[in-house]
Amino acid sequence: MFSTELLAANLLSPVVLAFALGLIARGLRSDLEIPAAIQSYLSIFLLLAIGLKGGAALRNDAPDNLAVFIVATFFLGVITAVSAYFLAKAWLRDSRIDAAAIAAHFGSVSAVTFIAAQQFSERSGQPADSVLVALVVVMEIPAILIGLALAKGAQGIRWHDVREVVTGKTALLLLGGLAIGALSSKDGLAKVDAMYFQLFQGTLMLFMLDMGMLAAGQLRLVGRDAFRLGIYATAVPLLHGTLGVFIGHWIGMSASTAAVFGTMAASASYIAAPASIRASLPDANVGRCITAALGFTFPFNLAVGVPVYFALAKSLQPS
C-alpha cells in the first residue's frame, strides 16, 4: 500500500527541503532570521492565494454533493476534537483544561499542512478538488468551539468565543479569498495572476523555511514529557488521517481529494487554535500545544504523513 516513491518525491520536494533547511539553520545556531512583519505577510499571502485559487476553480467545477461534503466535514471536526480530548486525558494524563486545549489544536486544521498536501496532489498529476478550501474552515470552527466547551463545562461558550473563532485570520482570509476567486471574472483574475498564482511556490518555500526554524525552536522546549508528547503528536494524527481518508472515500471523493481531506483531519493548528485558546482559556498550557503541533505533528505529516494518506486513498480506489 505504501509507496517509497511517494515518500522520496515528498522528501525531495522544494517545500520539504526548505523546511529542513530551517531546521538545520536553527540547529547550527545560524543568525538567519525572518522578521516578524515578513512572517505575518507570508501567512496572509498564502491564505489569500489558496482561497483565490480555490474560488476560481470552484466557480467552474462545484461538486454536486457539496452539502454532503460539508456535513461530513463538520462531524469529522467534532470526532477529531473529542477523540483528541479523551486520548490526552488517558495518555498524557492531562487535566480537563489542558486536555481540552490540546483537543482544540488537534481537532482543528493546519492551513500550511493543507497547502503542502494540495501541492503534493498537484505534483502527482491529480489535483484535489477546490472545494477543500471551504472545508478547511468547516472543520476548524467546530473543533475549536468543542475544545472550549469541554474546558468550560457547565459555564458554556460565550458569544465572544464564537466570534473570535469565526473572524480569525485563517477563516477570514480563506473564505474571503474563496469568495473573491468565485466572484471575479477570468480577466480580473488574470491581472493578479503574476502575484498570487505564479509567485505562490516561491513564497511557500520562504514560509516553510521560517516554519523549520520555528519547529526547531519549539522542540528545544520539550522536557521530560518528550516521549509521551511525541507519541501522542504522531499517533493521533495517523488515527485522524486514516479516519479522514476513509470518510472521504465513503462520501465519494476522488483519491487525491480524500487524501488531502485525510491530511486536514491529521493536521494540528498552530495559528488559529492558539489565538482562540489563549484568549478564552488563560490557564491552559498553550505553549505545550504549539510544541506538539509544530514541533512533532507538522514535520511528521510533512515528511511521512502526506505520502501515507495518499497511498491509503489510492489503495481504496477500485482498480
Q: State pLDDT tens for residues 188-222.
A: 989 998 888 889 889 989 988 998 898 888 777 77
What is the rounded distance in angstroms from the CA atom of residue 145 to the CA atom of residue 166? 10
Q: What is the pLDDT of residue 154?
A: 52
**Among 305, 262, 294, 238, which residue's Cα sits nearest to residue 11?**
305
Prediction pTM value: 0.86
Residue 1, pLDDT above cutoff 60: no
Q: Please report, as a single letter, which amino acid is at residue 40.
A: S
Q: State pLDDT tens for residues 152-187.
A: 775 666 677 677 777 778 788 888 888 998 899 889
C-alpha cell at 229: 508528547
**Among 102, 177, 101, 103, which residue's Cα sits nearest to residue 137?**
177
Q: Please state the rounded mean pLDDT for residues 300-314.
A: 93
Beta carbons of 142 and 81 less than 8 angstroms apart: yes
Beta carbons of 253 and 70 less than 8 angstroms apart: no
Domains and CATH numbers, the chain: 4-316 (1.20.1530.20)
Looking at per-residue pLDDT, the higher value among 141 and 98 belongs to 98
**Among 48, 61, 41, 58, which residue's Cα sits nearest to residue 192?**
48
What is the rounded distance in angstroms from the CA atom of residue 125 to the CA atom of residue 296? 29
What is the rounded distance in angstroms from the CA atom of residue 317 to the CA atom of residue 133? 23
Q: What is the pLDDT of residue 276?
A: 81
Q: Over the range 21-35, which residues count as b (16 or more CB within 10 Å of their CB) and which as e? A: bbbebbeeeeeeebe
Beta carbons of 47 and 170 less than 8 angstroms apart: yes
What is the rounded distance in angstroms from the CA atom of residue 130 to the CA atom of residue 114? 12
